[in-house]
Chains A and B, each alone.
Chain A
Amino acid sequence: MRVVAALSGGVDSAVAAARAVEAGHEVTGIHLALARSPQSHRTGARGCCTLEDARDARRVADVLDIPFYVWDLSERFAEDVVDDFVEEYAAGRTPNPCLRCNERIKFTAVLDRALALGFDAVATGHYARLVDTPSGRELHRAADPAKDQSYVLGVLDAGQLAGALFPLGDSLKPRVRDEAARRGLLVAEKPDSHDICFVPDGDTGAWLRDRLGTVPGDIVDAESGETLGRHDGAFAFTVGQRRGLGLGRPAADGARRYVVGVDTGSSTVLVGPPVLLEVDRVDAVRPRWCGAAPSGPVDGQVQLRAHGEPVDAVVTVGPGVTGDVEVVAHLREPVRGVAPGQAMVVYDGTRVVGSATITRSARDGGAR
């Protein structure tokens, strides 16, 4: 196959590209320039958009002796990922930009361009497995549970999966580092990237305040209705959050208080005891299925945040009140802190069924 290997400058994508070369594919290295001005993004080794990363990516291509190009996707990234991220927070939701980037940038903009130029697939360093079956290609969790990234790939549809290659899916991360060192890839010891690549210092609250301004409002006790304090912008709060509330006095019962609701319309942040966070029903919209849409209820699991544990659930798909397709998960055990805007990824064992964007959650009383 003719393969485009997306080289971030990190160890995973380097080994993924090396394995694609070794598998006999004709590989071309691509580094994605996602920042409008590369210096404005995080400096050092932890980002994904720095000059250092571009150089590291180029060195990987040199060592592998493959062609290397930089593709400028900064406009698309700004519109589809960064602007969306800000809008979602402004609406009181908590988006996951990595899913968005995989859906719109890596496996739409890059894949489409690669296919148009005569390539067959885009290889990345994601930890997830693709399994070809008679009924089509399936996406599964990675062999390394600590590194599994199937959650952030749960947005890929059948067409996108058909053009994907994840050479690290069967590997354990420490082995990948060893392999990088053995292959002479100089990024073997580079730390993993974390956080959000376009928030330079990792301070998402301050980054959002720069863009959304200060919108002061009340912090209100969800049970008593009493105003407990003030804040600079409801968008900076996420359901389930405990730190950074800045409430001087403890709750009457001495229990810790959590954010249990965010209303950016009235700029109100609701806080309360953890019991208010417990939900067993999660509603989500805009599903994307990794293959065919399920024909009936899925008795499987859902994962409600990037590094969350899977929760047993029965998932149904049907028309919601607005007529749009709605995905409803009835959880077998209640969970705490489900934030609107996050992705609910549906699993059937290790297989990823699909994903949808969480709109609300509630305490219903167990799976029916």
Chain B
Amino acid sequence: MRPEAVAAMTAELTAVGNPSSLHASGRRARRVVEESRESIAAALGVSAGDVVFTSGGTEADNLAVKGLYRARRAADPRRTRVLASAVEHHAVLDPVEHLGEREGADVTWLAVDELGRLRLDVLEKELDAAPGATALVTVMWANNEVGTTQPIADIAALCAEHGVPLHTDAVQALGHLDVDAATVDSLAVSAHKVGGPHGVGALVLRRGLAVEPLLHGGGQERDVRSGTLDAPAIAGFAAAVRASRDDLAERTARVRRLRDHLVDRVTAEIDGVTRNGDPRDNLPGIAHLSFAGCAGDALLLLLDAAGIECSRGSACSAGVPRPSHVLLAMGLDPVTAMGSLRFSLGHTSADSDVDRLLEVLPGAVARARRAGPAR
């Protein structure tokens, strides 16, 4: 966590008070929550009333996808279509699949190009194909695996033209890109991705847009979300958002330069390495690379043993590596997809980390190649 967030959160932890209560300590807690809401809204370019606190990004995405679909369909039973990009995070992918399997939604996965960018022509064709039948469109702001940034403004314009609400999962983008939530109708963010605490996030929801709640109860958040608010976590969330906003330009420029340096060196010094994702519009701290002839988990094991932590794509619940749906959607074959790793850089990363990686990586790749590709 960022020190600003730790300070804000710990300052609240010993305070008594439920923000929903009317007595003095409740009012005090409420003030903390509302000031946090205002500062998060300001950072995202929206009004405070648009911010609905949740337990994190996954809940925000579920609330948007299921809530918008159910409300839109209830208002007009013909609206059964859901259009989603093929590279969504599981927090969006799985609720969309659920709607398709259990609630009669007609789901269309929108194709991306080889860089992972949504094909605008495909979106337009799908929106035109069945006027009045689409309940919502959901496309992430930036991809968590390969880092590709989506042309959200163009997507939003197309959706607005067709009168269809657009949800975007901006969990990866907040704190790393300039996120203007007013661009879209609905936007999910999470505190821990910007240096705040785990277990808190928000759905930024344009007022006037009907959403059916997932959690029923006290109606604390605009009657859209119930549950006692966690004032200390929200204070930490707001402090992290403010801090990451203040140093965004300087920090991301530095991380981006370091990441580009890493990619340049790895691709120059090791044969058979390809970079995945959009080399131009992307998250600054992600380098996603495919190593021909290697199994990603073998490489990960060797790097971890050398003190370098990176991550592989998805795994099933038993932990068995699976080829990433993102890479498959970008046209990679399953074996190449399984031979890929994501290297993440942050504000604490330094040139020496890249040097250390390049000391270890060539030997690790050679060894992993001897062990063979993923079967």
A residues lining the B interface (CB < 8 Å): 26, 28, 31, 33, 38, 50-51, 54, 58, 67, 69-72, 74-76, 113, 116-118
Contact = CB atoms under 8 A, between A and B. Distances in A.
Contact of A51 (B302, B318, B367, B371): B318
Given A117-B368, A118-B367, A70 B301 contact: no
Given A33-B320, A54-B318, A113-B298, A67 B305 contact: yes
Contacts of A26: 305
A72 B349 CA distance: 33
B320 A38 contact: yes
B371 A70 contact: no
A58 B368 CA distance: 23
A107 to B, nearest CB: 16
A116 B320 contact: no
Q: Bin chain B's interface residue count.
A: 20 to 34
B183 to A, nearest CB: 40
Contacts of A71: 297
Nearest to B304: A67
Interface of B: 297-298, 300-302, 304-305, 315-321, 367-368, 370-372, 374-375
A187 B315 CA distance: 24
A110 to B, nearest CB: 11
Q: Pick from A38, A58, A113, A118 the residue with the most CB of B within 10 Å.
A: A118
Contact of A31 (B301, B319, B370): B319
B318 A33 contact: yes
Nearest to A73: B375
A118 B298 CA distance: 11
B319 A54 contact: yes
Nearest to A74: B320
A70 B319 contact: yes
Contacts of B368: 117
A144 B375 CA distance: 38
7 contacts: A28-B305, A67-B305, A69-B301, A70-B315, A70-B319, A113-B298, A118-B367
B319 A116 contact: no
List the 4 closest pairs (A to B, CB-CB), nearest first: A70-B319, A116-B371, A54-B318, A38-B318
Interface centre among A51, A58, A117, by most B CB within 10 Å? A117
Contacts of A69: 297, 300-301, 319
Nearest to A2: B305
Contacts of A74: 320
A104 to B, nearest CB: 14
Contacts of B302: 117-118
B315 to A, nearest CB: 7
B317 A51 contact: yes
Nearest to B297: A69
Contacts of B305: 26, 28, 67
B371 A117 contact: yes
Nearest to B371: A116
Nearest to B299: A117
Given A70-B315, A70-B321, A72-B320, A113 B371 contact: yes
B305 to A, nearest CB: 7
B319 A58 contact: yes
Given A67-B305, A69-B300, 4 more contacts: A70-B318, A72-B320, A72-B375, A117-B368
Contacts of B298: 113, 117
A33 B301 CA distance: 17
Contacts of A58: 319
Nearest to B375: A75
A113 B374 CA distance: 11
Contacts of A113: 298, 371-372
Contacts of A33: 318-320
A166 B259 CA distance: 45
Nearest to A68: B319
B321 A117 contact: no
Contacts of A28: 301, 305
Nearest to B315: A70
A117 B367 contact: yes
B144 to A, nearest CB: 21
A75 B305 CA distance: 27
Nearest to B300: A69
Nearest to B363: A118
Given A28-B301, A58-B319, A113-B298, A76 B371 contact: no
Nearest to B301: A69
Contact of A116 (B297, B370, B374): B370
Nearest to A38: B318
A116 B367 contact: yes
B339 to A, nearest CB: 14
Given A116-B370, A116-B372, A117-B367, A38 B317 contact: yes
Nearest to A112: B371
Contacts of B374: 72
Contacts of B317: 38, 51
Nearest to B370: A116
A50 B315 CA distance: 15
A26 B302 CA distance: 13
Contacts of B300: 69
Nearest to A52: B318
A58 B320 CA distance: 13
Nearest to B321: A72
A60 B219 CA distance: 43
A82 B367 CA distance: 30
Given A116-B372, A117-B301, A118-B302, A70 B367 contact: no
A50 B318 CA distance: 8
Contacts of B297: 69, 71
A281 B168 CA distance: 75
A76 B319 contact: no
A232 B372 CA distance: 44
A116 B370 CA distance: 6
